[in-house]
Structure 1
Amino acid sequence: MKTIEAPAEAEGKNREWSEEILLQEIRAWHRRGRPLYSHYMRQHYQELLAAGIRYFGSWEKAVEAAGISYSEVRRYQRWSKKHIVERIRALHAQGADLSFRALMLSPYAPMVYAAIRPVYFGSWKNALLAAGLAPADIYRYRSWKEADILREIRRLHAEGEDLSSKHMDERANSLIATARRRFGSWGAAVERAGLDYAKIRKRKRWTQAEIVNQIRALRERGVPLTSTEVRNREPSLFAAACKRRFFGSWREAVQAAVGEAAKRD
C-alpha cells in the first residue's frame, strides 16, 4: 500500500502514513477524548489532519472512514447556554484554569468557540458572568505565585472570612480554583498558609439572626458591647457583623440587637 511521509513537526514527526495507520491513529485520538474537529487538529496534530485529507479528500471523510460520526465532533455540536454554564461551573469546581487562552489550548476549546458565538454569550467574559464567576478574579489569580495565594488566604482569614471550601465554592471565588491547581486541594493550601483547616471546616455559618442572638447573649453576660472588647473576645462574631451582607458595621449590629440605649461604641 502506498505510504505518505508526514511533515517533521510535533505529532507524527517523520511518520510514514498508510490508510490503516491513519485510521488507527484517528481512533486512538478519539479514544483519548481529544477533539477531532478540523480547527483543533490544525493546531494540535496537523500531520494527521493533512494525511487524512490526502487519503480521503477531506478530513470529514477520513473521520467517517474511521467509524466516527463527524456530526458528533463538530465544534458547535450539542452546545446550549445551559450546557456551557454547567461545564464552566464544573471546570471551576475542579480548579481548572478558566482563562480564555488556557481553554483554547485545551480539549475544551469547542465549548469556548460555542460560548463566544453571538447566539450564545458573544464573549468569554459574558459566559463566565453567566456561570456566576467574576472574570476579573479569573485573570487576577491565574498569574499568582504560591506565596501570593498563601498571603491572600491569610488576609481573608484575618478579616474573618469563612474559608471553608463549601463557602468559597458558593462564592464562586477563583482563588480556590487557583489554589487547588497549585496545591492539589483547597485544604492543603489553607494548611500551607499556617491555618488549621479542620477547625475552619467546623466554623459557624453566620446569619443576621444568629449575630443578633450572640450580641444579646453577650449583653446578658455583662460583656461590654464596645467594638474593642468584642473584637478581642469574639473576633468571628465581630467580623461577621461588620460584613456588608449583614450589618456593615458593629454599631449597626448592636443597634439591631439591643437598641440605641445599649450602644457605647
Structure 2
Amino acid sequence: MRRRLDVFRSYPDEAFLVEAQRVAGLVGKPVLTSGDFTKHSGIPASIVRRRFGSWRVLLERAGLEDMYSAEAGGAPLATRFVYSDEELLEEVRRVAELAGKPVLLQKDFREYSRIAPGIFRQRFGGWRAVLEQAGVGHAYSGGQGVRYSDKELLEEVRRVAELAGKTVLTQENFQDQSRISLATLSRRFGSWRAVLEQAGVGHAYSGATAARYSDEELLEEVRRAVELAGKPVLMQQEFQKYSEVSHGTLTYRFGKWRAVLERAGVGHAYCGKPSKKHSDEELLEEVRRAAELVGKPVLTQKDFRKYSAISCNTLKDRFGKWRAVLERAGVGHLCSRMVDVRPPVRYSDEELLAEVRRAVKLARKPVLTTRDFRKYSGISVGAAKARFGNWRAVLERAGMGHAHCSTTNSKKYSDEELLEKVRRAAELVGKPVLTEKDFHEHSGIRVSTLKHRFGKWRAVLERAGVGHLCSRMVDVHAPVSYSDEELLAEVRRAVKLARKPVLTTRDFYKYSGIAVATLTQRFGAWPAVLQRAGVGNAYSGGRGVRYRDRELLDEVRRVAELVGKSVLSARDFRKYSRIRLSTLQRRLGDWPDVLDRAGVGHMCTHKATINYQRSSDINQQSG
C-alpha cells in the first residue's frame, strides 16, 4: 500500500486533472464527489487534498467548477454567498418539478441538485421555510407533531386522502404518502377513526364497526371476494386479502363466518371447523366432496387437508384409520396403501406376494429394498418376513428374486459369485473406469466384502478380469518396486487424464495411486519429475525466482490476449495464469508498472498512469 501511494504522489498535477475530466464523463452526474473520483480512478482523496489543498480547487483547475457540491467538498460556508436568494429559490422550484413527488425531502433535493441543502438552511432558516419562500410549501413533509397545529394536521390527512384516490384510507396508505407519523396524529386526536372523522373523511374508515355499510353493501362485498378468489372455499383470511372491509365488521353484523356466507348466498363456500355438531353423514360427505375436487386416483390426507378445514384426526377419531374413513365414504379405491393389520394371517400368501410385485412395479428400480417396500406399501416388512423368512426369500417367492440387493457378508457368496457381481456391475456402469462407489450403487454388495476376500480394489478388478477398469496404479511404499520408466509413464498418463495445461501434485494424486513422495525421492523436486517425464510445460510454477523477467512479461502479454478485454485487471490475471500476482509485483513493481513493462499499459484501469507517462515524455522533449 505504501508503494502504491508513492506512485500516486509521483504523478504530476496534469495527470490528476486529466483523470478528473475522465471520471466526470464516466459518472454522468451533475455533481462529481471525491468518493466517485476515488471509486473510478483508484486515487485516494487524501492524495488530492495534499496536492491541491481541497477538492474544490482540483475541480476548478480541471475546468469542472460547475460540478462542485459544497456538501460533497466538505466546505458548506465557502459557497454561501455564491448564489442570490432568487437563484436559490428558483433551484428549489426546479428540483420540486423534476422530483415529481408530492413531498420534497432534503435527500431528494441532493439527488437532483449540486447545491447542498445546508446552504438553503443557513440562508432562509429551516427546510420548511425554504419550501414556503420558494412557493412549494405544500411539498413539506413535516417533522415532530408539536410543530403543527390541529388544522395543519387535519389538512395533511385530507391531502393524503385525495392523493390516495381510494374509498378507504388505511394507516399504511397514509404513512406511504406523508412523513407525519401516525403517533403524532394519535397523540393529538386519538384513534384512527377519530382522526378521519375530524378531518371530514370519516367515510374512508374501514374499521371494525358496521355502521358505515348497509347490510346489502357488506353482502355484495362478500360475493365479490368469492368471485375474485376463484376457489370453492372462502376463508376469513382470504376474504381479507381481496377486500379492505374487515371480516370483524361482517361477523359483528351477521354473526359467525358461516352465517355471513349463507346470508350472502354463498354458503357452499364455507369450510368450517368440525365439532360434535357434525353428523357422520356430514363428515363423509365432506370426504366425498374433497375427493371430487382433488381429481386424483389417490386421496391422501395431505390433499384432504388442502381442500377441507376438517382435521383428519377428527375423521380418524370418528371412523378409525384413513382407509376405514375412505371406505365408509364409498371411495375406498382411492386409498394409496394397503393397511397392515397384525397378525399377518389377515392376508393370504397370494395377497402378500401380489403386494410385493406391485411395490417392485411402482419403485421402477432394478433393486427393491425393504425401505422401498415400506415407501410403496402399508404392509410391514415384518409381516412378510414372518410368513416367508428373510427378505431374499420374500422376493424369490414373489418371482422377483433378481430385485434382491444383499448387503450381507462374504460368507453368503462364493468367490466366483462375487467376481460375477463385479463383472455385471462393470457392464451396467458402462464407463472406462469402475469405481467403488459405482459398484456399490449397481450391486448393493459392500466393497469391504470384496476387499476382505481379495485385497485392495485393484486386486478385485484384476481377479474379475476387468483390471483395465482400475483408475489408479497401486502405490507400493518402497519406490524400488517401480522402474524409472514405469513411474514416468504414470506421470504422462496422469497428465493425459487431467486434461489441463497444468498438473499439480494434488491432480496427480487424484488420478494415480502412486505417492508423490515416491516420485520426488527418485527424481527430486516436482518440476524435475515433470521434466524427466517430458511434460515440463505442465509445471504450475512456484516462487518468482523460477522465472526470468522476460518469461514473466511474456505471460502477462499471453493473458492479455487471452482475456480479450480492453482492460486487464489483476483479478483476470490470477484467473488465467498460474503465476502468482505477488511474484510479478515483487519483481516488476505495482500492477500499472507490470503492464507498462509488458507493453500493454493501455489496459490499466488507472488512466492516470498513462497521463503521467505522456507528461513525462512532454517534459523530456521540452527539456
Greater fraction of residues in helix: 2
Larger radius of gyration between Structure 1 and Structure 2: 2
Q: TM-score, normalised by structure 1?
A: 0.34
